[in-house]
A = this chain, B = another copy of it.
Amino acid sequence: MNIEIINIGDELLIGQVVNTNASWMGEQLSLAGFKVHQFTIIGDTREHILEALWRAGERSEVVLISGGIGPTKDDITKTTLCDFFGTRLVFNEEAYKDVEALFARRGYAVTELNRQQAYMPEECLSIVNNFGTARGMWFEKDIPVPGRQGKTIYVSMPGVPFEMQAMMKDYIIPELTTRFHPNSIYHKTIMTQGIGESFLAQIIEEWENNLPQSIKLAYLPQPGMVRLRLSGTGDDETSVHALVEEEANKLSLLIPEYIYGTDDDRLEALVGKLLKEKNCSLATAESCTGGYIAHLITSVPGSSAYFKGSIIAYDNDVKEQMLGVMPETLEEFGAVSAEVVIEMAIGAQSNLNVDYVISISGIAGPEGGTKDKPVGTTWIAIATPEEVFSKQYLFGDSRDRNIRRAALQALNLLRKNLLSH
């Protein structure tokens, strides 16, 4: 059984609004075990809405529609739905009472525009909207498709995200689940850092080729990380779950050094959790990342429990005066060197009185590269209560991506050290 989604609204096509409704609906339906076949995004145009309704119904048994049912002139979906289903708008007392009650709660009188929202298609089941004036509409229609059993379901919802979301959760997904008993589906995402998509693919090729047919693998690359998502489907929830976990375990054994977590894990939060467990504190001493590592760390609520602060030493004077880097070290080895990041780390550990320090110095670009140290050259040091060590990396050409990749690499270096001690 396939589900399709149609989002209606000119503002979506001109990119004025990012279509988060589609991704939210897709995610919730997938989590409930349904297969989402297509999203179709169209403008507020009668003929185009009619065509999209037909095409979707030909491909899929259930069509969910959002948008275009507000009170303003450009919202033509409701009358178009009447045409499509061969029905007409009639005044719905119950719907009107809801609108009245909503306006009373907000302290307003009902406007004529909003009164018109109580007119509903005669041949539909209307769905209560607890957060707005536009009710949902559940239609069923015979669509002539070979092999299709029963009527095709069309549900129209408001485009306002929290109104649509409440309707989906409270009514539509439970009702679809009762009717269709979807297959069990289980997703697990393995988060990797420090290796590119194609290198990863080579290492895990044999495992990937031998995956059971019921499990799909997706590579989801982002700057500095690749997420590997396993999705398993089947009749029996327990065995689907077990099979995906088994394959995830096999995968983990192939690339242990690149995996930092699963699903929604973020490196900055994992590092924070480990520091809290050890009751240890952290600081950063950043040059090329310019505060981005500190920003990631402090984006985690509660990070003040372990993060004390940073010295952002963009200028060499600041490296010397606030971190105690020796002028001779800068002179002899240059700012982007093992020697300098080590002195930065030790300086921050002592001056900020912390257990752990991430220090970093590199050439983010676009300027500043040389033959020996091209743009992307980056040194990272980690100071711990026991030792200080450093590593060199060569990232790419793009300033934004270099900053992001360097920050994730540095956080993962610290995470690995915290885990192994």
Answer whether A11 and B220 are a contact pair too, CB < 8 Å, given A106-B396, A309-B313. Answer: yes
Restricting to A353-404, which residues have a CB under 8 Å from any CB of B?
353, 364-367, 394, 396-401, 403
Bound CA–CA A364/B302 (angstroms): 10
- Is there contact, CB below 8 Å, between B291 and A310? yes
Does A194 lie at the interface of the complex (its beta carbon under 8 Å from any beta carbon of B)? Answer: no
Does A136 lie at the interface of the complex (its beta carbon under 8 Å from any beta carbon of B)? Answer: no
Does A10 lie at the interface of the complex (its beta carbon under 8 Å from any beta carbon of B)? Answer: yes
With both beta carbons as reference points, the residue of chain B lying nearest to A217 in the complex is identified as B74
Bound CA–CA A264/B189 (angstroms): 36
- Is there contact, CB below 8 Å, between B298 and A314? yes
Does A199 lie at the interface of the complex (its beta carbon under 8 Å from any beta carbon of B)? Answer: yes
Restricting to A256-292, which residues have a CB under 8 Å from any CB of B?
283-284, 286, 289-292
- Is there contact, CB below 8 Å, between B27 and A12? no
- Is there contact, CB below 8 Å, between B11 and A398? no
Restricting to A6-20, which residues have a CB under 8 Å from any CB of B?
10-20
Answer whether A114 and B19 are a contact pair too, CB < 8 Å, given A218-B10, A294-B291. Answer: no
- Is there contact, CB below 8 Å, between B18 and A20? yes
Q: Mark A199-233, 1 if CB is under 8 A from B, else 0.
A: 10110000010000000111111000000010100
Bound CA–CA A108/B286 (angstroms): 27
With both beta carbons as reference points, the residue of chain B lying nearest to A314 in the complex is identified as B309
Bound CA–CA A352/B320 (angstroms): 10
10 example contacts (A-B, Cβ-Cβ < 8 A) are as follows A19-B23, A22-B41, A37-B48, A112-B202, A160-B221, A301-B399, A304-B314, A308-B315, A309-B311, A317-B352
Query: Which of the residues B105, B113, B311 comes within 8 Å of A198, measured between beta carbons?
Result: B113
Query: Which of the residues B107, B286, B314, B403 comes within 8 Å of A307, measured between beta carbons?
Result: B314
Does A299 lie at the interface of the complex (its beta carbon under 8 Å from any beta carbon of B)? Answer: yes
Q: How far is the CB of A378 from chain B (nearest CB, A)?
A: 13
Does A417 lie at the interface of the complex (its beta carbon under 8 Å from any beta carbon of B)? Answer: no
Bound CA–CA A291/B295 (angstroms): 5
Surface stretch bound by B, among A65-73, A89-97, A244-252, A408-416 = A65-73
Answer whether A199 and B111 are a contact pair too, CB < 8 Å, given A30-B15, A314-B309. Answer: yes
Does A329 lie at the interface of the complex (its beta carbon under 8 Å from any beta carbon of B)? Answer: no
Within 8 Å CB of A208, what residues of B?
Answer: 73
The number of chain A residues touching the other chain, given as a range, is 35 or more
Answer whether A28 and B40 are a contact pair too, CB < 8 Å, given A322-B311, A322-B352. Answer: no
Within 8 Å CB of A217, what residues of B?
Answer: 73-74
Bound CA–CA A398/B301 (angstroms): 11
- Is there contact, CB below 8 Å, between B299 and A399? yes
- Is there contact, CB below 8 Å, between A312 and B312? yes
- Is there contact, CB below 8 Å, between A318 and B352? yes
Q: How far is the CB of A210 from chain B (nearest CB, A)?
A: 12
Residue among A71, A208, A284, A366 with the highest chain B CB neighbour number at 10 A: A71
Q: Mark A325-354, 1 if CB is under 8 A from B, else 0.
A: 000000000000000000000000001110
Bound CA–CA A198/B108 (angstroms): 11
With both beta carbons as reference points, the residue of chain B lying nearest to A187 in the complex is identified as B14
Query: Which of the residues B13, B43, B366 comes within 8 Å of A301, measured between beta carbons?
Result: B366
Q: How far is the CB of A182 from chain B (nearest CB, A)?
A: 13
Bound CA–CA A123/B27 (angstroms): 38
Does A98 lie at the interface of the complex (its beta carbon under 8 Å from any beta carbon of B)? Answer: no
Does A25 lie at the interface of the complex (its beta carbon under 8 Å from any beta carbon of B)? Answer: yes
Bound CA–CA A111/B200 (angstroms): 11
Does A140 lie at the interface of the complex (its beta carbon under 8 Å from any beta carbon of B)? Answer: no
Bound CA–CA A398/B105 (angstroms): 12
Does A122 lie at the interface of the complex (its beta carbon under 8 Å from any beta carbon of B)? Answer: no
With both beta carbons as reference points, the residue of chain B lying nearest to A298 in the complex is identified as B290
Does A131 lie at the interface of the complex (its beta carbon under 8 Å from any beta carbon of B)? Answer: yes
Within 8 Å CB of A155, what residues of B?
Answer: none
